[in-house]
A = this chain, B = another copy of it.
């Protein structure tokens, strides 16, 4: 096989608050020769996700931080160029943890073959991948929406929020979304079918959310944090459930004195309304739920009952700008970098 000129994006320095282009650096490399069991992949699509911001910090969150100088982590849809493993063949399309690279050499544990005849392969990065499973497992194991209840979720046009809303409605609950800007709000309502979608960029969020939830909130799927939590808290009903899967509004934030009273209010409300707050990472539930997720959501995506939206950017070199924008809500749907697929 001819020599490949590959490139990768590494963490150049740790961000202080909002990441900037200076925190990333593009480097050329030549993929090493394969040893037994390995695959050489050409990355077609790279997923950009909020969790990547956490890996850029020094402190340990639920996973080890990326070392400075190390390649940015991430999952990609890739074509097998060369295989030293009997189960994989040249031309196979796979999902793998490739990192931010044009090409990668990987071991096969964690690699999953994709079948493009079932659904577009990019869905393995979104509605039928980690974001979709985050929505599905959080609702099945923690949110447990019931008929007639009200479910609220932020980032309603994004891959997690849009599926949370659709799962809520399939369970007979009322789904109220929160999104940033008129276009996302009307799209979430018309395409995903949310009963109401509130624009968090307009003033009076607490009042408008209260008006959209006249019987209170039974499930708040927390993937935002910050100002939205302040609006949600007074509306939570007795025995409300709060799956906490992300806090995108806090990832870049430096805390201010604005919320001095909000922890006391949060704890008081947990007590007074017998709330359940439960943090989780989707992998906790994968062994138990992943097969039923793929079967149930896969069928509903194939039939068109469950809808999704993807937002593409072109070129690995644009991945840093994509992640910076994602953390500010600039994406509109599941954000995917077309790396070699153009």
Contact = CB atoms under 8 A, between A and B. Distances in A.
Size band of the A side of the interface?
A: 35 or more
A118 interface: no
Contacts of A62: 238, 271-274
A152 interface: no
Interface stretch (A72-80, A84-92, A251-259): A251-259
A284 interface: yes
A262 interface: yes
Interface in A249-271: 250, 253, 255-264, 266-271
A2 interface: no
B276 A278 contact: yes
22 contacts: A62-B274, A229-B267, A246-B271, A247-B267, A247-B271, A250-B264, A250-B268, A255-B261, A255-B263, A257-B257, A258-B260, A259-B260, A259-B264, A269-B279, A270-B277, A274-B279, A274-B280, A275-B277, A275-B278, A275-B279, A276-B278, A277-B277
A335 interface: no
A279 B284 contact: no
A277 B62 CA distance: 18
Contacts of A255: 260-261, 263-264
A270 B278 CA distance: 7
A271 B245 CA distance: 6
A129 interface: no
A48 to B, nearest CB: 19
Given A263-B262, A276-B278, A244 B257 contact: no
A114 to B, nearest CB: 29
Q: Among A229, A244, A264, A268, which residue has the most Cβ atoms of chain B within 10 A? A: A264
Q: Among A255, A267, A276, A284, which residue has the most Cβ atoms of chain B within 10 A? A: A267
A281 interface: yes
A190 interface: no
Contacts of A278: 270, 274-277
A61 interface: yes
